[in-house]
Amino acid sequence: MIGEIDDAIRALVKASDGIAADIDIALDAPTKDWAARRNAPTVDLFLYDIREDTRRREYGFSEHRDERGIIVERTPAPRYFKLSYLVTAWTQRPDDEHRLLDALLRCFLRFDAIPDSFVIATLAETGLPCSISVALPPPEDRAFADVWSSLGGELKPSLDLVITAPLARGLTYRAGPPVTTGVGADFRATNLGIEERVLRAAPTVGSRSDAESPEA
């Protein structure tokens, strides 16, 4: 899933009209050492956080039917994961970086989800969209300054790009055979048991009770 999303957002950036075709696109952590080695205009898409979107967790099952419409398999609902990218522009001049960031912002705002043409391999297993959000406020438990501090670099303008993708859990449960008859009950064994107990309790001919009766 992660590799397919990396390829998808790189392709979106390369296909953008406002971004030159010769600009490099990297996935590296923008550390001081990396910035010092950079010698060409670059867009960096650094994946810095992966976490489950627990608000979208579901506990049901999806049913799979055969050509007759009979359920043959059930699969658990997928889990949703948020992949957060720190998007930065690297050039020799700050104003050029700002223009490049503007082009990147416009690029991602065009899409609510990753286009179908880029939804391949594991991304296509669930048939559900991978949503895109950009430049939203960070969660309360982290800040962009903390990300830059962890990288050991200097704070600079950036975009927070978040891709929320469904991931199949890889579990499949086969369904039992379909029910072809209605509900019924058989009481024959119970009736025979009752008749047998009645016969055993009845007196037999020639017994002592017969001899002592007034008719004897």
Q: What is the pLDDT of residues 39-68, one digit of tens each?
A: 899 999 999 999 999 888 878 766 667 777
Q: Is 199 a member of any domain? A: no
Taking the alpha carbons of 149, 152, 158, 163 in that order, is the dihedral positive or negative? negative
What is the pLDDT, as a whole number, of residue 189?
Answer: 53
Q: Is 196 a member of any domain? A: no
Q: For the chain, what percent of residues have pLDDT higher than 70?
A: 76
What is the pLDDT, as a whole number, of residue 125?
Answer: 79
Q: Is 46 a member of any domain? A: yes
* 150-171: average pLDDT: 85
Q: Tell me the residue range of the domain where 72 lies.
A: 2-174
Number of domains in the chain: 1
Gap between the Cα atoms of 162 and 9, Å rounded? 11
Q: Above 80 in pLDDT, residue 171?
A: no
First-residue to last-residue Cα distance in the chain? 98
Gap between the Cα atoms of 80 and 107, Å rounded? 24
pTM: 0.72
* 9-19: average pLDDT: 89
CB atoms within 10 A of CB 118: 20
Q: Is 65 a member of any domain? A: yes
Q: Above 70 in pLDDT, residue 104?
A: yes
Burial class (CB in 10 A: 0-12, 13-18, 19+), 129: middle
Q: What is the pLDDT of residues 67-94, one digit of tens each?
A: 777 666 777 788 899 999 999 999 989 9
What is the pLDDT, as a whole number, of residue 173?
Answer: 62
What is the pLDDT, as a whole number, of residue 207?
Answer: 46
Q: Is 134 a member of any domain? A: yes
* 147-160: average pLDDT: 84
Q: What is the pLDDT of residues 115-135, one digit of tens each?
A: 988 888 777 778 889 999 998
Of the pLDDT bands very low, low, confident and very high (cuts 50, 70, 90), residue 213 is very low
Q: Name which residue leads in pLDDT, 168 or 52.
A: 52
Of the pLDDT bands very low, low, confident and very high (cuts 50, 70, 90), residue 172 is low
Q: Is 200 a member of any domain? A: no
Q: Is 180 a member of any domain? A: no
Gap between the Cα atoms of 181 and 58, Å rounded? 33
Q: Which of 27-36, 143-152, 160-169 has the lowest mean pLDDT?
A: 143-152
